[in-house]
Amino acid sequence: MPLWFYSSNGQQLGPVEEAQIRSLFAGGRIKPEDLVWAEGMPQWIRASQAFVAAAPAPMIPPPSMPAARPTTARPAGAPMPPAAPTLITTAADTGASPLAIVADDAGPFFKLASMFTIPDDGRWTGTAVGSPRAIYLLKKNKSRHYGHGGLLIILIAAAVRTGKDIRTCALPDLPQPVRDALDPKGKSWKKDVIVLPRDAIRLIKLGALGTLTVQIGPESFAINGGLFAGKKNRELLEQLGWSLDQETFAAGQPIHGPGFGRTFEEIQQRRKSARRRALFAGLAAAAIIAIIVLIAMQH
């Protein structure tokens, strides 16, 4: 049997035997989105691609098999895994490129809004565009509101701000007609995009304040077109063949998630943002202490 390596919490672990890695996956110690590799595989893949069919439900390893304690030491004769594991962007772990779903999307395209809310990733300013095939969300800037607290509020917000880096792909990965609709001036080519395919969307609702709620899988995206854009967006979507306020059967699967399409190194680099948040938290604490000291000196 082949020996397996896996990546968990930013660390490359292994090798372990196949029975051990299946036990780790079934017991939840290896998550579906973690990367695994065995000799003979061309590249790293997600654990859910390799083991989900064989492990439909979590279970505790049997007593006769002690919990694996992987080591980074490579015994003689063990395979050497690729040095740079890469996340594989798939559609529901089928191995097919998610962009194949919209590869021939030539429109027509209509702009729906310039602001939207992404589950677990916050509120963004950008461009939301609809076509007969999908809804596309171009993430430009994280939307923030600091009120009148000045620098102190900015530091606190930077310290507590989190997000899951939800994406489908980068803008250049999309077909040219979609890129032109999302970024007609060509200024956002480094930005991320979330693709919501039509066959994966089960419901689109139009709220009283003009907000479109797109329900796909277990998630709800809010596209904030504004109070006076509701009627226009309804008409545009109906022109494209969409049915609003009517739940439909979603035959497809969502093709977005945390870090989709990013290399292992890119994901590791983004995790370093926690250090920056800690720095901002320290600066905010120092500013608060300075304010308290100044107030005490005045009194």
- Cα gap 125→299, rounded to integer Å: 45
Cα–Cα nearest to 37, from 90, 78, 92: 78
DSSP letter assigned to residue 200: G
Check residue 216 and give its pLDDT.
92
Q: In DSSP terms, which residues pair with 203 in a beta bridge? A: 215
Which uninterrupted H or E stretch holds 266? helix 264-271
Domain chopping of the chain, boundaries: 1-85, 98-258
Name the stretches of the chain with pLDDT < 50.
53-72, 83-97, 145-148, 160
- Matching CATH topology for 1-85 and 98-258? no
Instruction: Establish whether the linkage from the previous residue to 15 is cis, with ω within 30° of 0.
Output: yes
Check residue 84 and give its pLDDT.
37
Which uninterrupted H or E stretch holds 38? strand 35-38
How is residue 86 written in tokens? 């890469």
**Planar angle of CA 87, 88, 91, nearest 5 degrees:** 135
Say if CB 256 and CB 239 are below 8 A apart: no
Q: Helix 273-298 and helix 150-160: axis angle, to 10°?
A: 150
Which CATH number describes the domain made up of 1-85? 3.30.1490
- Global confidence as pTM: 0.57
Cα–Cα nearest to 191, from 108, 102, 130, 124: 124
Q: Which CATH class is domain 98-258?
A: mainly beta
Please count the other Cβ atoms lying within 10 Å of the Cβ belonging to residue 115.
18
Check residue 155 and give its pLDDT.
53
Check residue 143 and give its pLDDT.
64
DSSP letter assigned to residue 76: T
Check residue 10 and give its pLDDT.
63
Check residue 127 and give its pLDDT.
94
